[in-house]
Amino acid sequence: MFRLPAQTHTEDGDWRRVGFEVEFTGLTLARAVEVAENTLGGERREEDAAHCVLAVPGAGDFAIEIDWAFLKRQAAEQDGSGEGWVELLSLAAERVVPLEVVAPPLPLKALDRLLEPLVAALRAAGAAGTRDTVIAAYGVHINTEAPDLGSTTLWRYLASFALLQWWLVDAHAVDLARRVSPYVDLYPESYTRELCEQGPPAATEKLLADYLKHNPTRNRALDLLPLLSVLDEAAVQAAVNDDRVKARPAFHYRLPNCLIDDPDWSLASAWEGWRVVDDLAQRPGDLDALAAAYLERWRPLLGVDRAGWCADLEPWLHDRALV
């Protein structure tokens, strides 16, 4: 079961929404689409040889696709005909290039009903996750809608993640193949220190400028570029110049492994790490105390001892019933 965060609604009173991206291997695209269709229902719309969409009534569009940008471009150039080498590459990529199910933004209250049955069905069909090969870096991306886009709220989420990021790597048992990949890099310690020293900025322009100064890349375990693009897309593109950054008012959290072939694993367990970040962000007193503790431990040239910080953070989180 998904554990709801403390802040379940936006400032407008609507249920906050969450989108999931699940990477896996072990199935052909056709088989994955078949499983999703049997589980979710909906109307199938085949975009091209590498990409299919299921329009699920009351939920939205679920995309099932081969996660290989080059292959998808070639399939699109063939106008969806699926002829020749595109299909051959698709089959050859089955054990190397992951498939991806991209769920639409769903209300928090709907996650159990829609997502867990889909994961169970893909597992039963033979889907495999992060540990399937030594080169696998498959993961789960969680896109959680922000309660609001005020500078104080965004600072609290950034500080919450930055102070928890080392602990989260251990809590998620992030696979070595993913740790050494560039896709889930953590925030630099200099940025964590700056967040703690400066506190919430008076304006979002300051928060955006500081973030881009330290993180001019999509490759962060918590990628804020999509959310910041809602505020100032031109400034984000000036810093990263990457057309893959799409504006959306959500935190893009990409740290968890995808252990879809493990019967004891679920998306709800992957969600738990982010839920702790989300809940800490709603406790300004605890967050300020943790930031002060981080600064107290800072040593010139050495920074903060990671092992000691994580060892003390675990009981601190338990004492506050955050885990």
Kindly state whether residues 112 and 240 are assigned to the same domain: yes
DSSP H or E segment with residue 38: helix 29-40
Q: Residue 80 — very low, low, confident or very high, per pLDDT cuts 50/70/90?
A: low
Q: Residue 47 — very low, low, confident or very high, per pLDDT cuts 50/70/90?
A: confident
Kindly state whether residues 90 and 118 are assigned to the same domain: no
Kindly state whether residues 130 and 37 are assigned to the same domain: no
pLDDT in the model for residue 78: 58
- Domain membership flag for residue 227: yes
Is the pLDDT higher at 71 or at 257? 257
Domain stops at, among 75, 97, 119: 97
pLDDT in the model for residue 74: 56
Angle at 275 (CA atoms; ends 152, 54), nearest 5 degrees: 105
Query: Which pLDDT tens digit goes with each residue over 171-191?
Result: 998 887 788 777 889 999 999
What is the mean pLDDT of the segment spanning 5-33?
95
Q: Could you give the C-alpha distances from 279 to 5, 198, 231, 284, 321, in angstroms and in order?
A: 6, 21, 24, 10, 10
Q: Which residue has the tokens 């696998």?
A: 136
Backbone angles phi, psi at 38, to 5 degrees: -65, -30
Most confident region among 87-96, 133-142, 287-296 by mean pLDDT? 287-296
Q: Are strands 51-56 and 43-48 parallel, antiparallel or unpaired?
A: antiparallel
DSSP state string for 189-201: HHHHHHHHHH-S-
Kindly state whether residues 104 and 34 are assigned to the same domain: no
Kindly state whether residues 204 and 57 are assigned to the same domain: no
pLDDT in the model for residue 73: 57
Kindly state whether residues 200 and 312 are assigned to the same domain: yes
pLDDT in the model for residue 179: 81
Quote the number of domains for the chain: 2
- Domain membership flag for residue 176: yes
Euclidean distance between CA atoms 121 and 124, whole angstroms = 5
Kindly state whether residues 107 and 83 are assigned to the same domain: no
Euclidean distance between CA atoms 74 and 85, whole angstroms = 9
pLDDT surpassing 70 at residue 77: no
Query: Which pLDDT tens digit goes with each residue over 225-277?
Result: 999 999 999 999 999 988 889 999 999 999 999 999 999 999 999 999 999 99
Kindly state whether residues 74 and 33 are assigned to the same domain: yes
Domain stops at, among 63, 97, 131: 97
Q: How far is CA 21 from the centre of its chain?
A: 7
Domain stops at, among 46, 81, 97: 97
- Domain membership flag for residue 274: yes
- Domain membership flag for residue 229: yes
pLDDT in the model for residue 176: 78
Euclidean distance between CA atoms 188 and 243, whole angstroms = 24
pLDDT surpassing 90 at residue 202: yes
Kindly state whether residues 128 and 63 are assigned to the same domain: no
User: Which residue type is seen at 1?
Assistant: M
- Domain membership flag for residue 7: no
pLDDT surpassing 90 at residue 21: yes
- Domain membership flag for residue 173: yes
- Domain membership flag for residue 5: no
Query: Which pLDDT tens digit goes with each residue over 289-306?
Result: 999 999 999 999 899 999
Could you tell me the residue range of the domain that residue 280 belongs to? 17-25+98-319
Euclidean distance between CA atoms 159 and 155, whole angstroms = 6
Q: Residue 85 — very low, low, confident or very high, per pLDDT cuts 50/70/90?
A: low
Share of the chain above pLDDT 70, in %: 89
Kindly state whether residues 206 and 59 are assigned to the same domain: no
Q: Tokens for 67, please give them.
A: 């996660």
What mean pLDDT is reported for the chain? 90
pLDDT in the model for residue 138: 82
What is the mean pLDDT of the segment spanning 4-27?
96
- Domain membership flag for residue 4: no
DSSP state string for 246-308: ---SEEEE---B--TT-TT--HHHHHHHHHHHHHHHT-HHHHHHHHHHHHHH-BTTTB--HHH
Kindly state whether residues 151 and 236 are assigned to the same domain: yes
Q: b/e for 161-171, b at 16 or more Cβ within 10 A?
A: bbbbbbbbbeb
Euclidean distance between CA atoms 272 and 184, whole angstroms = 17
Kindly state whether residues 162 and 294 are assigned to the same domain: yes
Q: Which residue has the tokens 């800072």?
A: 298
User: Helices 189-198 & 204-214, crossing angle to 10 degrees?
Assistant: 160
Cβ atoms of residues 255 and 219 within 8 Å: no
Euclidean distance between CA atoms 126 and 287, whole angstroms = 42
Q: Residue 49 — very low, low, confident or very high, per pLDDT cuts 50/70/90?
A: confident
Is the pLDDT higher at 67 or at 258? 258
Q: What is the pTM of this model?
A: 0.91
